[in-house]
């Protein structure tokens, strides 16, 4: 993972050096931008409190495990490994919850098994959709309503359906 770890430090260095090279007031411009960033972050906290409280209660209640049990027969018929259902349910709402769920899955099954690979593809090719929409909506003046959730859900569902198919196609 060394190559991946190089990206962030090199980007930071490059941006600052490029600024110096072009004779930009690097420190002054940085602090102006940074204080705007701080203000934006502070405005996001209230919605984060609401969303994360509800998501946390949902995760702790074990509701996702119950739901996974109900969905499992249908998923199996579609060729979706039942081990990955709970991960698919948690993934759109909680990033840290999904990491915990994947870690727990890998302690039971091998990461190189079919379900293990499907879980990895599913995890990497989708985002914490719900959180992303909440954060971006908080920054908007005009609200988008339900349509943006529908579009994002269509994208997520595509990711869930394609994950096992692509594992079969590319890795087997």
Partner 1 sequence: MLGIILAVMLVLSAVAGFLGGGWEEISDAALGQCVKAVELGIYLAGSMALWCGLMRVAERSGLTRIVSRAMSPLIRLIFGRLDASSEKAVSLNLTANLLGLGNAATPTGIEAVRRLEKSSHPRRNTALITVINTASIQLIPVTVAAMRSAHGSAAPLEILPAVLVTSLCSAAVGVITASILFSEEK
Nearer of residues 2 and 73 to partner 1, judged by Cβ: 2
CB of residue 80 vs partner 1: minimum separation in angstroms?
A: 13
Count CB neighbours of 113 within 10 A. 13
CB of residue 76 vs partner 1: minimum separation in angstroms?
A: 20
Nearer of residues 75 and 93 to partner 1, judged by Cβ: 93
Nearer of residues 32 and 74 to partner 1, judged by Cβ: 32
CB of residue 138 vs partner 1: minimum separation in angstroms?
A: 9
Integer Cα distance of 114 and 29 in angstroms = 50
CB of residue 94 vs partner 1: minimum separation in angstroms?
A: 10
Concatenating the DSSP letter of every residue in 18-58 gives: HHHHTT--HHHHHHHHHHHHHHHHHHHHHHHHHHHHHHHHH
- Surface-to-core class of residue 73, CB atoms within 10 Å of its CB (0-12 exposed, 13-18 middle, 19+ buried): exposed
Nearer of residues 82 and 129 to partner 1, judged by Cβ: 129
């Amino acid at each position: 993972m060394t190559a991946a770890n190089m990206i962030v430090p090199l980007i930071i260095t490059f941006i600052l050096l490029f600024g110096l090279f072009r004779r930009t007031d690097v420190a002054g411009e940085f602090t102006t931008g940074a204080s705007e960033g701080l203000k934006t972050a502070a405005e996001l906290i209230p919605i984060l409190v609401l969303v994360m409280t509800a998501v946390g209660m949902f995760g702790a209640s074990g509701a996702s495990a119950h739901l996974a049990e109900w969905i499992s027969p249908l998923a199996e018929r579609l060729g979706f490994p039942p081990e990955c259902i709970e991960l698919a349910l948690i993934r759109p709402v909680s990033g840290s919850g999904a990491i915990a769920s994947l870690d727990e899955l890998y302690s039971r099954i091998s990461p190189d098994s079919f379900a293990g690979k499907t879980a990895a593809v599913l995890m990497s090719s989708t985002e914490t959709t719900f959180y992303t929409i909440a954060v971006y909506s908080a920054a908007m003046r005009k609200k988008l309503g339900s349509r943006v959730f529908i579009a994002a859900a269509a994208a997520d569902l595509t990711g869930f359906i394609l994950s096992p198919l692509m594992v079969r196609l590319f890795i087997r």
